[in-house]
Structures are given as structure tokens and as C-alpha cells.
Structure 1
Amino acid sequence: MLTGKQRRFLRAMGTGIDPIFQIGKGGMNENLLKQLDDALEARELIKVKVLANSEELPKEVAGEIADATGSELVQVIGKNMLFFRQSKKKPRLELP
């Protein structure tokens, strides 16, 4: 569980990154979750976007992704979501 200070730190870092995954008409599937898991291990902080043609709601998708990948949901703004998970092999980000 992240503290308020840690969330604030991660939100500030997340403003400078672009979404690396987009969830569209097809919605969630096992392949997407595997790619998200791999990206979290490599980058630790990722941004995901729900496209306008998707029938999924961003807050519902965010909960599913966080549960499936074991990550922390940092923030949901509009259709963008920010996730964090400390890397097991090579931690890069040091939280305050």
C-alpha cells in the first residue's frame, strides 16, 4: 500500500510519460495482461489509456489490471490510468 507522499511522488513522475498501452474495442484479454505484467517489471511505472471506442469504464478496468498484475493503482484521470509495481529483479525507483 502506498502512502500519500509516495502517490504524490509517482503522480509527479507520471506526468512526463506517455501511455504505452491502449485498451480499445476488444477490451481486456490474457495477452494484454501478460504484456502489462512484463512492462511493469521492466519500467515499474506505466500509463495505460482507455480509447473512446471501448465499452469499458476506466475505473473498472483499472481495478482489474491492478488485481491481475499485483500492481498499485496510482491515479485515474479521465481515460488515463497510472500503475506502479516495484521490480523484483532490478528496482529503479526509490520511493520517499
Structure 2
Amino acid sequence: MDQKPDIERIARLAQIELSDEEKAVLEHDLTAVIGYMDVLSKIDTTGVEPMEHVLGLSNVLRTDKPVPSYDRARLLGCAPKTEDGYYDVPLAVEQE
């Protein structure tokens, strides 16, 4: 199965350049993963209950209870720069 068009599309979407050698390695790996999925799809799972987690963990999060929040004006007062009630910070990622 030719995975080259998929690999080239993924590389284009990720905005990375791949050499022909890297494409060949990824094509081999992707073919192996897809082959493994074909093997898994043939397993009879009749009567097997779906799992949320392989370890059988239950929800370990605390209950979500509303609690009083900090004073917004006091928190904004600690910031070096604010605008319209929000923190004003420099851009971390350039926008095109």
C-alpha cells in the first residue's frame, strides 16, 4: 500500500520538510501501524465490555464545588500592564 501521498500531506500540514530517506522510513512505519490495525480489527470482541481505562481506575478527581474567587481588581493591580480588565502580555507566537 502506497502511503507516500499521506506522508507528504501530513508533512505539508505540519510544515516540515522531509528527505526521501525520511519519507521511506515513515512510509514503512505507517504501513506497519495500519497493518497492525487490520489485525486488531479481526479480533472477535463479542461480549467484551468497553473500557474507559486499561487499569480500571475510577474518577479520582475532587468534587467540583464553587469556592470564592480572588478579587479581580487586586490581581490585575499586580500586573505590569492591563487593558480593558485583562492582562496585557506580549505575543508569544507571531500571527500571519
Q: Which has the larger radius of gyration?
A: 2
Higher relative contact order (CA 8 A, sep 6+): 1
TM-score normalised by structure 1 residue count: 0.21
TM-score normalised by structure 2 residue count: 0.21
